[in-house]
Amino acid sequence: MILHISHNDLDGVTCGVLTKRFLKDVDHTFCNYNEIDLILEEVSLRKYDQILITDMSPSKRGLKEILGEIEVLVIDHHETSDWLTELTPTVHDITKCATMLTYEWLEGQGIDVSEYKDLVECVNDYDMWHLKRKESLQMNMLFMKLGVERYLERFSRRGFNGFTEDEALIVELETERRDKYLYAAGKSIEMLKDAQGMDIALVYAEEYNSELGNYIIQEIGVDYVVLINMQRRKVSLRSRKDVDVRTIAEMNGGGGHKNAAGFSLDFEFNTMDFLKNAGILDES
């Protein structure tokens, strides 16, 4: 029996799609970056033969809690997980999304996963923010509307060779709503200077973080965007190509990529205190 722990975004859940479709006896848990250590602490190791972790990584403390007790395989593409290769079997490549790495790992096990090639390439195009395929943004829209469980069930039954009629309607309606949302959210931003003198845009938003961050950077020309989701107690960071926001996320217990990262918030939250404590604004 395998316990598959993965991130709860499009990339992480599609890793789950592949293991649900092609591996036997798999339990799935999808979570945020800050939840994985707690899951590892509470898991009943006697129930499983292996733990597979994709699109995220535990802390050294969290991993050492279970090393020697159970086999652990990590498949991840974040730069912050390169240290894992010293402790446990790890598939690590920052040039591909975790879904693509999981697909290739399954291929390496002699499994014919070719029917999922289009879905995997679509997710890779979105998660690595290449956006060369029209379906990439649309796939993420569908994921957000279906939710984790419905998306998992739908795509673990069959691969992707175009949206069904119902899915295409969902995407069309959501595209119209997204465009209105981006326009409205873009008008409610607050402009600030960070502690290093860079221009930042602060905005409260509950969805479409990548699209909204990209929209604000292109339309306004800021160095990076701080997107605060009060409902989910989460901060997302998006930046210009030459600005690294991953370090801000890591300072606050999160992670991600150079230009797209995030972390969770405490329940006691004050915007200005948060910006200072996160090292974004000067303490003065």
* CATH code of 124's domain: 3.90.1640.30
Any domain includes 212 = yes
- Answer whether 8's CB lies under 8 Å from 152's CB: no
- Answer whether 98's CB lies under 8 Å from 85's CB: no
Any domain includes 139 = yes
Quick check: pTM over 0.85? no
Q: Per the structure, how many domains does the chain have?
A: 2
Taking only the tens of pLDDT, the chain with its 284 residues reads 999 999 999 999 999 999 999 998 999 999 988 899 999 988 887 889 999 999 999 988 888 888 888 999 999 999 888 888 888 999 999 999 999 999 999 999 999 999 999 999 999 999 998 889 989 999 999 999 999 999 999 999 999 999 999 999 999 999 999 999 888 888 889 999 988 899 999 999 888 888 899 889 988 889 999 999 888 788 999 999 999 998 898 888 888 888 888 888 765 556 667 677 767 777 66
Check whether residue 34 and residue 157 sit in a common domain.
yes
Check whether residue 32 and residue 140 sit in a common domain.
yes
Helices marked H in the chain: 10-22, 36-42, 60-64, 98-108, 117-127, 134-157, 165-186, 209-220, 246-251, 271-277
Check whether residue 107 and residue 240 sit in a common domain.
no
**Looking at 25-89, which runs of residues are DSSP E strands?**
26-31, 50-54, 71-76
| Amino acid identity, position 121 | E
Q: Taking the C-alpha atoms of 228, 229, 231 and 233 in order, what is their torsion angle to the nearest 10 degrees?
A: -70
User: For residue 201, what are the domain limits?
Assistant: 185-277
